[in-house]
Amino acid sequence: MAVLSFLRRERTVAAPGYSRWLIPPAALCVHLCIGQAYAFSVFNLPMTKLIGITQSGPGDWKLTELGWIFSLAIFFLGASAAILGRWVEEGGPRRAMFTAGLCWCGGFFLSAIGVYLHQLWIVYLGYGVLGGIGLGIGYISPVSTLIRWFPDRPGMATGMAIMGFGGGAFIASPLSVWLMSRFSTPAHVGVAETFVALGLIYVCFMMVGAAIVRVPPPGWAPEGYVAPLQPSRLITTENVFVYDALKTPQFWLIWWILCLNVTAGIGVLGQASAMSQEMFRGQITAVAASGLVGLFSLFNMVGRFIWSSTSDYIGRKNTYFVFFALGTVLYALVPYAGALGSVALFVLCYAVIFSMYGGGFATVPAYLRDMFGTRYVGAIHGLLLTAWSMAGIFGPVLVNYIREYNVTHGVAPAQAYNVTMYVMAGLLVVGFVCNLFVRPVHERFHMRAVEAEDEVAAAPVFGSE
Amino acid sequence: METIRQSGGVGNGIKLALAWGFVGIPLVWGVVQTLVNAVKAFQ
């Protein structure tokens, strides 16, 4: 009972003197852990040798079967964020972070049992379903809290957290490899033990995040911050109820903006290694390609912070205009780089493309806040993440299909990606047009003042930052 | 909206250093590992 009371939103209202700069690390505690999802592929090969140990034996799991674990996790990320968004928003960040921690780590423990018993369905249920739900709740849990603490820089604040999701793989990948090397023996692959160890590490981190997170008291504003007297036309001071947002064209335009930006990025992200080797045969080896992918992931992470922070100054709509216009040019330049044999131009194009891919994820919560207000922004963000789930399926399929079609029709592998790049550039043009149509939400969708009252309204107003 | 003053001083400074160190150190370690691997790959 004491735990349940500790999780209540009322218990998370900040006391006087609480620094808002403690909120980004609280959010990072969660996002750095759930960002492990991007590094799950390090387990794929070891999990195909659980019986054969040195090589796949009879009865060992196949890569194609293992691929479903990540796909399920991303599907349940989108589904849980969409379904549980309102529950997350109304219950407060601590309850959501705590629940996300239990689901995420429970997913690892259940997967460890699945690996130990060699029952793949248990791993699907563990990492795919339970872990995926933890991903969804964890991803949206700090968003609205950050936006409320940083009304002057909402892009930067959410960008910091979402950068953590990109950065989680940088920690998880070497850590998982190291743990597996410690737990493996000549007769045993240490995957199950590594899952247990990761689950324990992540539960500690996520509970620290849940413990230090706070919501600002009603009426709180940062020192020196004065809300603009004449607010920008594209930044509302009203609130839209989560399910009313679905009735607005703005929600669906932003849904397509995110979907198209992610489709273009995720499609080539998965193929970056093979593409660089095929386009620059003899210049980029397999080992160098893996280094390149690491470098691109770094740009994906850094771009999340830089672009979302930039959006606080140039505006969200303009930031997406930059993504779509610059992205179109860069995608169209990639075949040219291949024809020239210029690895430097190729790397430069991709580095910027991946920074904008990450930037698209990180800037979208602030875009939603500008359109729909702060009251239900986390829940609306949860609904929007279905665009990510869709892009996660559509992007790689599109890239693989176009490449396959070209190769089977006699196009040399070095040129097989050219059409793909032009298709991606075309998708970004569509995204540009969607962004062009984004206008302020009509006032008939705004909540009445009484409806918008926060449930912590009764809490005392403190003098803090 | 009421504008409110920041207080806290040394106590907040220590909390901030601990919180940022808690997330920052693993993240920097991970980024360094990735960069080292990337450099090795190019060599």
Phi-psi region of A219 (alpha: psi -120 to 50; beta: other; left: phi over 0): left
Q: Indicate whether A289 and A383 sit together in one domain.
A: yes
Q: Quick check: A298 and B22 CB within 8 A?
A: no
Q: What is the dihedral of CA A289, A393, A413, A297, to 10 degrees?
A: -20
Give me A186's structure tokens: 């000549």
Question: Are A175 and A286 part of one and the same domain?
Answer: no
The verdict on a CB contact (< 8 Å) between B30 and A171 is yes
Which burial class, exposed, middle or buried, applies to A444 when counting CB atoms under 10 A from its CB (0-12, 13-18, 19+)? exposed
Across the interface, whether the CB atoms of A462 and B33 are under 8 A apart is answered no
CB pairs under 8 A between A and B: 115
Question: How high is the ipTM of this complex?
Answer: 0.84
**Domain of residue A315, CATH code:** 1.20.1250.20
Supply A141's token pair.
């849990």
- Is there a single domain that holds both residue A12 and residue A150? yes
Chain B residue at shortest CA distance from A226: B3
Closest to A80 measured CA to CA, from A350, A381, A397: A381
Q: Is residue A461 part of a domain?
A: no
| Domain shared by A54 and A142, yes or no | yes
- Residue A16 maps to a domain: yes
Q: A205 and A63 share a domain?
A: yes
Asked if residue A246 and residue A209 are part of one domain, the reply reads no
Note whether A388 and A78 are within 8 A (CB): yes
Of A220, A290, A294, the CB nearest to B4: A220
Q: What is the pLDDT of residue A323?
A: 97
Cβ neighbors of A207 (< 8 A, separation 6 or more) are A98, A101
Is residue A140 within 8 Å of A11, Cβ to Cβ? no
DSSP letter string over A415-454? GTTHHHHHHHHHHHHHHHHHHHT--PPPGGGBPPHHHH--
CA distances (Å), origin A12, targets A23, A27, A92: 12, 14, 8
Q: What is the mean pLDDT of each run of 10 residues along chain A (465 residues)?
A: 80 91 96 92 89 89 87 90 91 95 98 96 96 95 92 92 90 91 91 97 96 92 78 82 94 96 84 83 82 87 95 95 97 92 92 95 95 91 91 80 85 84 94 96 84 47 34
Interface residue B10 vs chain A (CB under 8 A): no
Judge if A119 and A29 occupy the same domain.
yes
Beta bridge partners of A446: A240
- Check residue A435 and give its pLDDT: 97
Q: What is the count of structural domains for chain A?
A: 2
Partner-chain contact B37 A291, CB within 8 Å? yes
Note whether A205 and A320 are same-domain residues. no
For residue A167 the two structure tokens come to 């950065």
Q: Is B27's Cβ below 8 Å from some Cβ in A?
A: yes
A202 plus A270 within the same structural domain = no
Q: Which of A171, A186, A69 is nearest to A128 (CA)?
A: A69
Whose CA is closest to A217, among B21, B19, B4? B4
CA distance A289 to chain B (A): 8
Q: Is residue A232 part of a domain?
A: no
Tokens 């820089």 belong to A153
- The residue range of the domain holding A281 is 242-441
Q: A22 and B15: CB-CB below 8 Å?
A: yes
B17 vs A: CB within 8 A: no
Kindly state whether residue A452 falls inside one of the protein's structural domains.
no
A308 belongs to a structural domain: yes
Got the DSSP string for A307-337? HHHHHHHH-HHHHHHHHHHHHHHHHHHHHHH
Distance between CA atoms of residues A355 and A305, nearest Å: 9
Nearest chain B CA: its distance from A39 CA (Å):
12
Residue A463 lies in a domain: no
Do A29 and A167 meet the contact criterion of CB atoms below 8 Å apart? Answer: no
In angstroms, the separation between the Cα of residue B34 and the nearest Cα of chain A is 6
A208: which chain B residues are within 8 Å (Cβ-Cβ)?
A: 22
Q: In the listed set A188, A220, A252, which residue is the last one of a domain according to the structure? A: A220
Q: Distance (Å) from the C-alpha of residue B43 to the closest C-alpha of chain A?
A: 8
Phi, psi values for residue A188, rounded to 5°: -155, 135
Question: In this predicted structure, what is the pLDDT of residue A454?
Answer: 52
- Whether B5 shows a pLDDT value over 50: the answer reads no
Are residues B6 and A167, on separate chains, in Cβ contact within 8 Å? no
Compute the distance between CA of residue A434 and CA of residue A392 in angstroms, rounded to an integer.
Answer: 20
Structural domain includes residue A426: yes
DSSP of A63-81: HHHHHHHHHHHHHHHHHHH
Q: With the C-alpha atoms ordered A373, A379, A380, A382, is the resulting torsion angle positive or negative?
A: positive
d(CA A104, CA A132): 7
Residue A282: its pLDDT value, please?
Answer: 82
Q: Is A237 domain-assigned? A: no
| Closest by Cβ to B19, choosing from A22, A171, A173 | A22
Give CA angle at A275 (A42, A354), nearest 5°: 70
